[in-house]
């Protein structure tokens, strides 16, 4: 084989390799375009959702809907199931029609007490002595009742007392020095305090008791809690006895 023929053969071989590479590239591009053009289902917000909305609430009220988009338009981090956000909380607003991504959510624990308040619920810090607050026993997540002993004054000037459970099943959000959710020192005699979750109506009764009565918290059972028929005790009912 002469030098010229060998060069021609090499040139033809290189041309064939280049052609094969070109065909392979075109085929991959075509396949990629076809894949990106395929429609896939994603979840979008059914309405505007403000920051702080819990994933559990979003799922419960069916505030997500499924739409079909081209694969190339799927936003990074888009969820494939509502269950992925059930235990999370929106860290930034989500607008109607916007794809739902994990990047918009954060853990509820990262939001602290604020994450546990929704609707008409409020957080109130209550200061008291260790006995009133079950110091060393109460933990975040416990449920308590508020017992009050009210000092009554009749129209004729005579005084009497009445004792009653005035609020039931209040949730403890945090305790001063507690392991689950600490709060700052309160103005009590020794700095003991708890944060309770109450409704915007319950807070009025709570504040009245704190300012006008002797009171204490009582811990409710964790398993199968129940409430007896409500009653008010006075000196007469206590002296007459009975359960």
Model pLDDT, residue 195: 94
Domains and CATH numbers, the chain: 39-112 (3.90.1210.10), 119-220 (no CATH)
Read off the pLDDT of residues 92-134 as tens digits, 9 standing for 90 and up. 889 999 999 999 888 766 667 777 777 888 999 999 999 999 9
Read off the pLDDT of residues 77-95 as tens digits, 9 standing for 90 and up. 899 999 999 888 888 889 9
Per-residue three-class SS string for the chain: CCHHHHHHHHHHHHHHHHHHHHHHHHHHHHHHHHHHHCEEEEEEECCCECCCCEHHHHHHCCCEEEEEEEHHHCCCCECCCHHHHCCEEECCCECCCCECEHHHEEEHHHHHHHHHCCCCEEEEEEECCCCCCCCCCCCCCCEEEEEEEEEEECCCCCEEEEEEEEEEEEEEEEECCCCCCCCCCCCCCCCCEEEEEEECCHHHHHHHHHHHEEEEEEECCCCCCCCCCCCCEEHHHHHHCCC
Residues of the chain with pLDDT under 70: 1, 3, 7, 9-10, 27-37, 108-111, 157, 177-191, 242-243
Model pLDDT, residue 108: 67
């Amino acid at each position: 084989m002469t030098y010229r023929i060998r060069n021609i053969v090499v040139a033809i071989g290189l041309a064939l390799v280049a052609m094969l590479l070109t065909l392979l590239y075109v085929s991959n591009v075509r396949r990629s375009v076809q894949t990106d053009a395929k429609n896939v289902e994603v979840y979008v917000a059914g309405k505007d959702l403000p920051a702080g909305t819990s994933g559990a609430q979003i799922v419960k009220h069916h505030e997500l809907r499924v739409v079909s988009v081209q694969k190339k338009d799927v936003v990074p981090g888009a969820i494939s199931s509502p269950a992925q956000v059930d235990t999370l909380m929106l860290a930034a607003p989500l607008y109607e029609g916007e794809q739902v991504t994990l990047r918009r959510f954060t853990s509820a624990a990262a939001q602290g007490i604020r994450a546990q308040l929704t609707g008409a619920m409020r957080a109130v810090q209550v200061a008291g002595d260790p006995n009133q607050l079950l110091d060393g026993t109460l933990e975040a997540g416990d449920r308590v009742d508020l017992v009050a002993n009210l000092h009554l004054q009749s129209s004729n000037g005579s005084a009497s007392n009445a004792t009653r459970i005035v609020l039931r099943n209040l949730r403890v959000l945090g305790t001063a020095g507690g392991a689950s959710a600490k709060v700052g020192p309160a103005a009590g005699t020794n700095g003991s305090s708890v944060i309770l979750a109450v409704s915007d109506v319950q807070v009025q009764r709570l504040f009245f008791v704190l300012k006008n009565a002797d009171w204490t918290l009582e811990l409710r059972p964790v398993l199968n809690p129940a409430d007896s028929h409500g009653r008010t005790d006075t000196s007469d009912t206590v002296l007459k006895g009975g359960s």
